[in-house]
Amino acid sequence: MMDSEIHVVIGSGTVGTILAKKIAASGQKVLLISRSNKQAEIPNVTRVQADASSISSLTSAAPKADYLYNCANPPYNKWQEQWPPIHKALIELAMKTGAVLVTCSNLYGYGPHKGVLTEDLPLNATWKNGRVRADMWLELKELHDAGKMRATEVRGSDYIAASDQSRMGDRVVPRLKEGRSVQLLGELDKLHTWTDPEDVANLMMVVAKEEVAWGKPWHVPSNGPMTQRHVVRDIALEIGVKNPKVSSVPAIVERALGLFNPVMRELSHSAYQFNAPFIMSDERARKAFGLKPKSWSSVIKDLVAAY
């Protein structure tokens, strides 16, 4: 029965929260599992505190599930240590409950690539964060193909979101609103694909229930590529700021910051994504599911409104 389906969302960050809200709004039962129980309540969503790296903790929190959504987000500089136990526990939970496991991922697994990124490219990443994400999917696919579980993965590019983890979030919008200049990492004038977290959640909801989606990765429908300078200009226009001052952090400064800041040090390994065109094809998901991204004007309006 449709009304008896149980959707379990792991992680209450940007994507996890949006996803839980959307599923609940469709009338389904939603459990939102996170490490903290201090976050705001969401209508028709049951919040549960649990350790996503512990199968006993997860089983206690969600003894039954029809759909599992991995929206966990360990600290950027601790992926190599913290992702594997979370990944292992979610595989065990999916096998115990028989749930479809949908993973929210990114494009790191491909590594540097000259040309448009498509889902059939090999996962050639060598940097440890990219390798972690690549190996997670390769294990899921192997288990899926062996008939031991049902799994799929969605991959988005850099998020446009009101967050300290978005390049166009906390570091950009508040500064523009205050009339201050903006400094960004990487080249300002290379084309780049940007993804809205709402589009990530929409695709996750679809691939969870579409058997044709299982066993495959899917790129999130996203707007056409734009340079960092273009995105800042559009945000500034929405705020009402003319001629925003935007510059790139000098490479020598970026390297110096990495000496003291472990997150900056890890970010330096993804510099290839901004120092050359970084363009993702979403054609496969658009054709298979008839999905389109949120309009660019709405993406920008919603981003600014969040501040």
For residue 252, the model assigns a pLDDT of: 72
Angle made by CA atoms 282, 288, 289, in degrees to the nearest 5: 90
CA distance 144 to 263: 33
Tokens of 8: 């379990």
For residue 3, the model assigns a pLDDT of: 53
How many CB atoms lie under 10 A from the CB of residue 39?
11
For residue 267, the model assigns a pLDDT of: 75
What lies within 8 Å, CB to CB, of 125 at 6+ separation is 108, 109, 110, 111, 131, 133, 134
For residue 253, the model assigns a pLDDT of: 73
CB 86 within 8 A of CB 72: yes
Please state the domain extents for the chain.
2-156+195-221
Mean pLDDT by 10 residues, the chain (307 residues): 80 96 95 85 93 97 97 94 98 98 98 97 95 98 98 98 93 96 95 98 98 98 98 98 92 71 74 94 98 98 97
Q: Which residues share a beta bridge with 105?
A: 155
- Least Cα distance to 248 among 263, 228, 231 occurs for 228
What lies within 8 Å, CB to CB, of 47 at 6+ separation is 12, 32, 34, 37, 39, 41
Write the DSSP symbol of residue 34. E
For residue 2, the model assigns a pLDDT of: 46
How many CB atoms lie under 10 A from the CB of residue 254?
17
CB 86 within 8 A of CB 103: no
Q: Evaluate the CA torsion angle 62, 65, 80, 20 in order and state its sign.
A: negative
What lies within 8 Å, CB to CB, of 213 at 6+ separation is 152, 206, 207, 288, 289
Angle between helices 79-97 and 128-145 (to 10 degrees): 20
DSSP calls for 118-170: -TTS-----SHHHHHHHHHHHHHHHHHHTTS-EEEEEE--EE-SSSTTSTTTT
Q: Does the global pTM surpass 0.85?
A: yes
What lies within 8 Å, CB to CB, of 307 at 6+ separation is 162, 173, 174, 177
Strand order in the sheet with 150-155: 45-49, 29-34, 6-10, 67-70, 100-105, 150-155, 217-219
CB 71 within 8 A of CB 9: yes
For residue 1, the model assigns a pLDDT of: 37
For residue 264, the model assigns a pLDDT of: 67
- Name the fold adopted by 2-156+195-221: Rossmann fold (3.40.50)
Q: Which residues share a beta bridge with 192?
A: 226, 278
Residue 93 corresponds to which amino acid?
L
Query: Is residue 40 packed enough to be buried (19+ CB in 10 Å), middle (13-18) or exposed (0-12)?
Result: exposed
- Least Cα distance to 200 among 126, 87, 299 occurs for 299
